[in-house]
Structure 1
Amino acid sequence: MKLMMISFLAARAVHRGWGCAAAFQVIRSSGVSRSSFSPQHQQQFEWWRHPSRCVGHHMSASPTISCNDAETNLANVLKAAYEDRETDGVQDIIRSNQIVEQLSAKGDVDAVADELVTAAVEASSSNKSLAAILNAILGSCCDSSSGSDETESINNSAQVALAILELIDEMHDEDESTMIKPDIVTLSLVYYSLCNQSNQESAQLILERAQQMSKKAAGSQRRRALAAERRKGSNTTKLDAKEAEKQLQAIYGPDIHILHESDDLIVLSKAAGQVCYHTKKTSAGKISAKRKKAKKGAAPDDDGTKVDISLEDSLIDMNFVLSTVNPVARGIVHRLDRGTSGCICLAKSNEAHMKLIASFFLRRVKKKYLALVPSPSSPSLEQEGVIDALVGGKSAASKYRVVSTYHGDGDESSSLGLTLLEVETLTGRKHQVRVHCTEIGCPIIFDPLYSSFQPPVQASRRKAKKDFQRNKRGKADNTEDTNQSSLPKAISDLETTMIPGQEKFFLHAQSLSIPEFDVDVQAPLPGWWTETLDQLES
């Protein structure tokens, strides 16, 4: 795969008029020897070396920071950075050395794109790692420069990003089986860089492409739903924030709040047990006329479980306009697990959605969580520190701080101490806070995946529903949870009030900061949190 793509890049250098020197620089910077290529490609290289092909072309046409030393060429630098900290490592090494700025300030942006893509191809070990490295390079193009002419450098970086996207497209068209296809993150980063340059015409083309990509990936069911939304037109009336919050609380209870709303986005404090969106639309989450009449579905169904209406469906039913870039769920830029409460942001416009994707990728969004965990048995946990541990096989880092410590009830049956942690995620991995708390010996209370301290009926919503029905018939097993004796009374009391199948645990997305959109909000603690903490303090 690498040989084919590097050969393509070398041929492209010649056809663009850069000459044989540029072609051989592509090969040299990749670290691949000419003898590795097929006889046909070697003949091509010999043809490129002919003097008649080289007249008037010099290496200055292809600026480079690579060298012949395998220890220091750009491909090896990117490879080492990716193996260390994946996309964060690649972005850091490019930013700290101002690689994009230096290259884009010296020469043709197409030549710069060729060199960067060549290095990415050589540094990658799979299509997945190639996509990640290329996106990291594009992310570096979104940065403001600190050079002597900041505006010019930003403009050059944006043009480099656009040239990289065009080159990826060319290589994918040449061979779909070996070259990755741009994804929504790729398009969002290019869009973001072009918007920084105020190149609205090119940015609009990228946006339209992202919309078409989403439409194609969505399937017929979602396309029909979007068509129905368009038919509503201007006849729909959107509720104001206060009225919308009242209706949301009628569905989910008093723990859901609208924290911020603008033309671009809406930030809510989600209730625990509430799902952000359904990947499969089922009758359980459908907002029917019957459920609307019963206070918007707040009343439990016949089996005693709460109606499972997603946040996405609720907002759409209230005529909130949500973006369509996400092919799975409208408006959803990031997600919170069903059992987690707190801050979540949804995009209203496709333009805002693309910028938000870029902001999250660039780590410009700050998120802090509160987690209630068992106090560690050993006093090795510092008051604050950094957790650096893999999550799902990927590098991840979080900062933590001990907020409060609660001692046990003072008797043998309930001696477990609890600790309230504040956790700030420095990377964005699925279940990152939950995994990192477990890594330091403090699994989150009631976490069904990573903690043994959880309600007795918690394995799955389906199992919980069956257990609830068996309890009604008086046939349930009265097995005692081995962990119940170690939980403080405040926690044990809370368990008795939990609805079967309602997944919620002590993890709360406390704050969300998105400087790009002037968002800096804090989500109030849910009522069941404050009641529990008050009991623990007393």
Structure 2
Amino acid sequence: MAFSLQLTVEPYQSGMRIDAFLSQQLRNFMPWQFQRLQDWNAIQVDHQPVDPRRRLRTGQLVRVELLTPPEQMYDPEDYPLSIIYEDPFLVVVDKSPGVIAHPTSSMQSGTLCHFLQSHFDRQTPVKGLIRPGIVHRLDRETSGLLIIAKTHFAHRQLVDAFEHSRVSKTYVALLDGVPADTQGTIDLPIGQDHLGSKVLMSTRPEARNAKPAKTHWELLRTFGSHSLVAARPVTGRNHQIRVHFAALGHPLVGDEFYEARGRFKPSARNS
């Protein structure tokens, strides 16, 4: 299936080269993809093969044949997203609890990516031109802000920023019990559950493929036998905050998997 795109050069775009013009329209395309489209004569200006050296003029018609569909397209699904911020490069969404960020083998619809695809498709003349670029994740039952890239460039920059700890994240968690201290650092490696679960993580010495993990935390207030803490993970391991506080003896209230001291709930082994 070919994706045909027709665009009119606006006054503010007059004088642009074709590659700069298309970079504004096809934000997920890389330079080599533009070159391939030119080599295949898939770009026309006023029904003529494009000359990459010439500048565009106001009112010219640019036609692009995308010979292959955009990769990793998600079927758009309408959902009332809570968008906190958006610009041409990224969007910040307040993810609701119960929503997963991207499709998995067991869930191929109803994810944040599907909801965002619907939102992005309303911004472009052809569906799939902007696709959600997942930069970081939140667990299904965790609510909070997610930064989603809208371009390859933004995705690379954001991933690099997260990997090199140039982005700080703070989580608010309700714990079972009250920690003895008012603040601290949990510095325990996290690996996969040694009994073979693909889901569960553990701080136990026998955990497989364990990697360093560190979480700073601060007590905010107490509610009888429960406490509210601010957690600031230095690393980004799977289930890090949940596993670390369970290891501390104060699992998150309502956690379906992790109990105090790394003990798993009976139902978790079958998940």
TM-score range, shorter chain: 0.5 to 0.7
1:127-138 pair list within 5 angstroms: none
1:494-513 pair list within 5 angstroms: none
CA distance in 2, matches of 1:356, 1:228: 20
CA distance in 2, matches of 1:336, 1:315: 16
Judging changes above 3 Å, is the alpha-carbon distance between structure 1 residues 262 and 391 closer, same or farther for their aligned structure 2 residues?
Answer: same
Equivalent AA in structure 2 for residue 272 of structure 1:
P
Determine if the alignment matches structure 1 residue 311 to structure 2 residue 112. Answer: yes
Find the partner of 2:245 among 437, 451, 476: 437
Structure 2 partner of 1:404: 221
Structure 2 partner of 1:342: 144
Find the partner of 1:226 among 61, 70, 79: 70
Match of 2:235, SS state, is coil
CA distance in 1, matches of 2:96, 2:69: 26
CA distance in 1, matches of 2:69, 2:240: 33
1:222-371 pair list within 5 angstroms: 226=70, 248-249=79-80, 257-280=82-105, 285=109, 309-320=110-121, 330-371=132-173
Rg larger in structure: 1
Say if 1:438 and 1:450, in contact at 8 Å, map to a contact too: yes
Judging changes above 3 Å, is the alpha-carbon distance between structure 1 residues 209 and 330 closer, same or farther for their aligned structure 2 residues?
Answer: farther
Match of 2:259, SS state, is coil
Find the partner of 1:389 among 164, 175, 188: 188
* Superposition deviation, residue 209 in structure 1: 7.9
Per-residue displacement from partner, 1:260-289 (whole Å, max 9, x unpaired)? 11111001110111011113486x62xxxx
Say if 1:373 and 1:418, in contact at 8 Å, map to a contact too: yes
CA distance in 2, matches of 1:248, 1:354: 27
Judging changes above 3 Å, is the alpha-carbon distance between structure 1 residues 354 and 405 closer, same or farther for their aligned structure 2 residues?
Answer: same
Structure 1 partner of 2:254: 446
* Superposition deviation, residue 394 in structure 1: 0.9
Percent identical residues? 30
CA distance in 2, matches of 1:209, 1:448: 46
Per-residue displacement from partner, 1:468-512 (whole Å, max 9, x unpaired)? xxxxxxxxxxxxxxxxxxxxxxxxxxxxxxxxxxxxxxxxxxxxx
Judging changes above 3 Å, is the alpha-carbon distance between structure 1 residues 318 and 310 closer, same or farther for their aligned structure 2 residues?
Answer: same
Structure 2 partner of 1:424: 232
* Superposition deviation, residue 257 in structure 1: 1.8
Judging changes above 3 Å, is the alpha-carbon distance between structure 1 residues 403 and 350 closer, same or farther for their aligned structure 2 residues?
Answer: same
Gaps of 5+ in 1: 1-206, 211-222, 230-243, 250-255, 286-308, 408-416, 453-457, 464-538
Judging changes above 3 Å, is the alpha-carbon distance between structure 1 residues 209 and 402 closer, same or farther for their aligned structure 2 residues?
Answer: farther
Say if 1:434 and 1:444, in contact at 8 Å, map to a contact too: yes
Structure with the higher fraction of residues in strand conformation: 2
CA distance in 2, matches of 1:429, 1:438: 15
Structure 2 partner of 1:103: none
Judging changes above 3 Å, is the alpha-carbon distance between structure 1 residues 348 and 402 closer, same or farther for their aligned structure 2 residues?
Answer: same
CA distance in 1, matches of 2:113, 2:167: 22
With normalisation by structure 1, the TM-score equals 0.30
Judging changes above 3 Å, is the alpha-carbon distance between structure 1 residues 225 and 395 closer, same or farther for their aligned structure 2 residues?
Answer: same
* Superposition deviation, residue 330 in structure 1: 3.8
Say if 1:445 and 1:451, in contact at 8 Å, map to a contact too: no
* Superposition deviation, residue 404 in structure 1: 1.1
Equivalent AA in structure 2 for residue 312 of structure 1:
C
Equivalent AA in structure 1 for residue 233 of structure 2:
T
Judging changes above 3 Å, is the alpha-carbon distance between structure 1 residues 227 and 346 closer, same or farther for their aligned structure 2 residues?
Answer: closer
Equivalent AA in structure 2 for residue 430 of structure 1:
N
Q: CA RMSD in A?
A: 3.5
Judging changes above 3 Å, is the alpha-carbon distance between structure 1 residues 316 and 404 closer, same or farther for their aligned structure 2 residues?
Answer: same
* Superposition deviation, residue 228 in structure 1: 10
CA distance in 1, matches of 2:233, 2:79: 28
CA distance in 1, matches of 2:256, 2:91: 29
Gaps of 5+ in 2: 1-29, 34-66, 192-209, 261-265
Equivalent AA in structure 2 for residue 343 of structure 1:
L
CA distance in 2, matches of 1:350, 1:450: 36
Per-residue displacement from partner, 1:132-184 (whole Å, max 9, x unpaired)? xxxxxxxxxxxxxxxxxxxxxxxxxxxxxxxxxxxxxxxxxxxxxxxxxxxxx
Judging changes above 3 Å, is the alpha-carbon distance between structure 1 residues 351 and 442 closer, same or farther for their aligned structure 2 residues?
Answer: same
CA distance in 1, matches of 2:72, 2:217: 46
Match of 2:70, SS state, is helix
In the comparison of the two structures, how many residue pairs are matched?
178
1:7-406 pair list within 5 angstroms: 226=70, 248-249=79-80, 257-280=82-105, 285=109, 309-320=110-121, 330-376=132-178, 381-392=180-191, 393-406=210-223
Equivalent AA in structure 2 for residue 333 of structure 1:
V
Match of 1:354, SS state, is helix
CA distance in 2, matches of 1:276, 1:388: 27
Judging changes above 3 Å, is the alpha-carbon distance between structure 1 residues 355 and 418 closer, same or farther for their aligned structure 2 residues?
Answer: same
Judging changes above 3 Å, is the alpha-carbon distance between structure 1 residues 403 and 315 closer, same or farther for their aligned structure 2 residues?
Answer: same
